[in-house]
Amino acid sequence: MDRLGRLDLTQLRALDMLVTTQSVTRTASLMSVTQPAISNMLARLRETFDDPLLVRQGRSLVCTPRALALAQPLRAILTQLDSLAEPVIFDPATASLILSVAATDYAIHTVLLPFIARLRVVAPGIRIALHDLNGETAQDHLERGVLDWALLASEACTPALHAQKLFHETWLCATRLGHPALSGGMTLDRFCKADHVVVSPDGGGFEAMTDAALRRLSLKRHVAVSTSGFLMVPDLLTRTDLVAVLPSRLLATRHDLAVFAPPAPLVLPGFDKYLVWGERTHLDPAYRALRKLLSDTCHDLALPSPNQHDHSLTTEIMPIRAG
């Protein structure tokens, strides 16, 4: 072991070429070094292996039995070492890995479900582990490799992680079809007098960004129900007279609801949704390909438009703002 520890990669390559060419001159030419340099390496190799390795026979050099015995394992070692520097090619059809993702139920429903559907077609060997998003631990879990991805709003992104904007989301209002407040159009006064349901990710909160926006107009609303997730809200609306403010993508296919823009002059700024990941997978070809697939999926997703919802409403769908 002590003797082998003195070897370096250049010496191993020199030995491989010496055994192959049986020529110091040819080996020096192939390695772009001087003949004395190769002679010095051969002297160190002879000392290490305690064998002359190449001996002169007439005007030529020939390999000793020890050198010939080293030829095959040496070539295998060098081939394996060379493969370490070769670029990894990601083949989705044969790929096998586990992708751990944290997201809200809204992001799972609107982003990850169509992504997983595409992934099952192009890369059936990749498995997905979905986790509830915990904003307090997401960054640490990404940095430590517990999570591969997290789908976060812009304010949750940090410089220590990598992030890619997936889309800009806007807020729309929704209630059941035939709600009394819709007769003649939903005004801000009717909006405030209605009973509302809000999503409080931490659970139990009865205020959200809509309430802050109303306060700036010296107005308030009554929140009757608070829930920790988005997905149950649309179904709740169909069974009650409650009103909700929800991300537009969550309402894109809800033809059983009346969907309308926040009544003027109420303005509810949208938010950006980001894919966030750590340094561990940043340059990995497989994860780069998966990030592109997710980005392409988000780009192809149709946004809700006025003709997807109730045409009887006098309030038009609020325009999507870039960035």
Domain with CATH 3.40.190.10 in the chain: 97-166+273-301, 171-269
Write down the CATH superfamily of domain 97-166+273-301.
Answer: Periplasmic binding protein-like II (3.40.190.10)
Q: Rg of the chain's alpha carbons, rounded to an integer? A: 33
Residues 6+ apart with CB under 8 A from 69: none
Which CATH number fits the domain 171-269, given the four candidates 3.90.1170.50, 3.40.50.1820, 3.40.190.10, 3.40.50.300? 3.40.190.10
pTM, 2 dp: 0.71
CATH architecture of 9-85: Orthogonal Bundle (1.10)
Beta strands 271-277 and 162-169, pairing class: antiparallel
Q: How many CB atoms lie within 10 A of CB 309?
A: 20
Query: Model confidence over 262-314: pLDDT tens digits?
Result: 999 999 999 999 999 999 899 899 999 999 999 999 998 755 443 344 333 32
| Residue 258 Cα distances to 11, 43, 179, 250, 268, angstroms | 76, 87, 8, 13, 18
Domain with CATH 1.10.10.10 in the chain: 9-85
What span, in angstroms and rounded, lies between the C-alpha atoms of 29 and 57?
22
Segment 138-179, tens digit of pLDDT: 988 998 889 999 999 876 677 779 999 999 999 999 999 999
